[in-house]
């Protein structure tokens, strides 16, 4: 019989991994809720033209990496390779863009046909935030701080915020003319990809990964030198705000976005634990995109986090252990029934609780309880049920269960819940 396997770059997420994904999603929702950012959900399948215009026909994503096909209605359709273009299409089509500033977030699968590697698959997932109608530099800082605080709340280490400005459209046009002339004078020294970009998308050359071209670019003109006073002051204000928020950053004048609707703030949050694919979160201001996709001229800025790369970091930093707060050890027919009732009531009281269904000896269950990482253990046998009492023991991460225990009445579960609520605050 034929054995089916997943397509290359399409990866199953198994239960042990899903727990970690759910933790990331839960913390993200908490941060977005506190910042009054509303969720939006868009289709996975969109018109190909949306991404050709929204990402850029001269980009590798559109030219080489999209999953595109003609449907039965003879329409060219594409599985979304990123989230921003779909969100912009949705707010224009549904009139949200005419209802004042919008602060939105999205999550879900994206698709790109590229070589799979650690943290990068052909079906991958993003969590992203988009602000529309907010042109203040304070909005830029707010957006960056939300990403920074979320990643730190997840327990990530070795993070660096890299910051640049792309200036205004006039600034970019001035720089582009200087840069193209400089590139043309050194055309034969460029790698093949850079040669193809000189007249189509020259700013992308600044982001090259080719070592020889990177060395050559060390003597190239700098976009920073063509900024007008207004653009320079805006960038200096952003740095002052981030310093005031105590968010560390470093300037990276090679950090660019190649399309003309990008302007001013560009940033990435990188990790020194990811090797060459160091970016965890990337974002920037794209004031011209809404108009380019058929909407009004609206200021916009956003970022996206690659969830697979984020999960890799969490696994490396050992931040992926998701443990129950309470482990319920039980043995005996009467005890197992009562244990189910206790577990249900504790879960309804918002405690995470794991219950041992093995029926094995207490000593074996105690060892599993220790390995689970639980803070507390409840021990219940038929004798305890007959006597109307519950044994509760404090757990230690480096030892088995402590020998001293606390006794609670089987008929006073409210008192037991109250005890755990107070213990949860203390811990």
pLDDT at position 427 over 50: no
Range in 261-270, 367-376, 395-404 the model is least confident about? 395-404
54/265: higher pLDDT: 265
Q: Mind listing the pLDDT tens digit for each residue in 195-249? A: 888 887 788 788 777 888 888 888 888 888 889 999 999 999 999 999 999 999 9
Nearest alpha carbon to residue 190 among 168, 171, 216 = 216
Confidence (pLDDT) at 275: 60
Nearest alpha carbon to residue 144 among 224, 286, 247 = 247
Overall size of the chain counted in residues: 427
Query: Reading across the β-sheet that carries 67-70, which strands appear in turn?
Result: 45-47, 76-79, 67-70
Query: In the predicted model, what is the mean pLDDT of residues 395-404?
Result: 51
Going by the DSSP 8-state scheme, the letter that residue 372 receives in this structure is: H
Q: Mind listing the pLDDT tens digit for each residue in 58-105? A: 677 887 899 999 999 999 999 999 999 999 999 999 999 999 999 999
Q: Domains, the chain, ranges and CATH?
A: 15-168+228-316 (3.30.930.10), 326-426 (3.40.50.800)
The CA-based diameter of the chain, rounded to the nearest angstrom, is: 91
Q: Mind listing the pLDDT tens digit for each residue in 105-131? A: 999 999 999 888 877 899 999 999 999
386/427: higher pLDDT: 386
Residue 422: partners with Cβ closer than 8 Å, 6 or more residues away:
none
Confidence (pLDDT) at 397: 46
Query: Reading across the β-sheet that carries 376-381, which strands appear in turn?
Result: 353-355, 326-331, 376-381, 389-394, 406-409
Query: In the predicted model, what is the mean pLDDT of residues 17-27?
Result: 90
Residue % of the chain over a pLDDT of 70: 94
Tokens at 305, concatenated: 């986090």
pTM of this structure: 0.77
pLDDT at position 146 over 90: yes
Q: 299 in helix, strand or coil?
A: coil
Tally helices (H) and strands (E) across the chain: 15, 16
Tokens at 200, concatenated: 């189509």
User: 113 with 122: CB under 8 angstroms?
Assistant: yes
Which helix (H) or strand (E) segment holds residue 239: the answer is helix 229-244
User: 391 with 406: CB under 8 angstroms?
Assistant: yes
User: 360 with 387: CB under 8 angstroms?
Assistant: no
| Band of residue 318 on the pLDDT scale cut at 50, 70, 90 | low
Confidence (pLDDT) at 277: 57
């Amino acid at each position: 019989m034929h054995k089916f396997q997943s397509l290359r770059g399409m990866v199953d997420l198994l239960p042990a991994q899903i727990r970690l994904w759910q933790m990331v999603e839960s913390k993200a929702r908490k941060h977005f809720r506190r910042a009054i950012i509303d969720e939006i959900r868009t289709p996975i399948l969109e018109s190909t033209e949306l991404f050709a215009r929204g990402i850029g026909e001269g980009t590798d994503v559109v030219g080489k990496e999209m999953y595109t096909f003609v449907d039965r209605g003879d329409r060219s359709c594409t599985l979304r390779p990123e989230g921003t273009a779909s969100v912009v299409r949705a707010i224009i089509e549904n009139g949200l863009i005419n209802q004042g500033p919008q602060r939105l977030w999205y999550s879900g699968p994206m698709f790109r046909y590229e070589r799979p590697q650690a943290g990068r698959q052909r079906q991958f997932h993003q969590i992203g935030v988009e602000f529309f109608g907010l042109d203040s530099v304070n909005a830029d800082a707010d957006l960056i701080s939300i990403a920074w605080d979320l990643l730190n709340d997840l327990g990530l280490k070795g993070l660096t915020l890299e910051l640049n400005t792309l200036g205004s459209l006039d600034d970019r046009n001035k720089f582009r003319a200087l840069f193209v002339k400089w590139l043309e004078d050194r055309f034969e020294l460029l790698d093949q990809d850079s040669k193809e970009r000189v007249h189509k998308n020259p700013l992308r050359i600044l982001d090259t990964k080719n070592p020889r071209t990177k060395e050559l670019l060390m003597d190239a003109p700098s976009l920073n030198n063509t900024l007008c006073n207004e653009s320079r002051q805006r960038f200096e204000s952003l740095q002052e705000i981030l310093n005031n928020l105590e968010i560390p950053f470093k300037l990276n004048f090679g950090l660019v976005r190649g399309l003309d609707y990008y302007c001013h703030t560009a940033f990435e949050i990188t990790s020194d634990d990811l090797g060459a694919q160091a970016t965890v979160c990337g974002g920037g201001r794209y004031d011209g995109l809404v108009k380019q996709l058929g909407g009004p001229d609206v200021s916009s800025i956003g970022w996206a986090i690659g969830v697979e790369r984020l999960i890799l970091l969490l696994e490396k930093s050992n931040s992926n252990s998701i443990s129950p707060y309470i482990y319920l050890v039980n043995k005996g027919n009467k005890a197992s029934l009562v244990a189910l009732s206790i577990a249900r009531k504790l879960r309804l009281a918002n405690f995470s609780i794991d219950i041992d269904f093995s029926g094995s000896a207490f000593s074996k269950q105690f060892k599993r309880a220790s390995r689970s990482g639980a803070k507390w253990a409840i021990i219940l046998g038929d004798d305890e049920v007959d006597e109307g009492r519950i044994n509760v023991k404090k757990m230690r991460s480096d030892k088995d269960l402590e020998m001293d225990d606390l006794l609670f009445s089987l008929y006073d579960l409210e008192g037991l819940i109250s005890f755990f609520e107070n213990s949860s605050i203390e811990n």
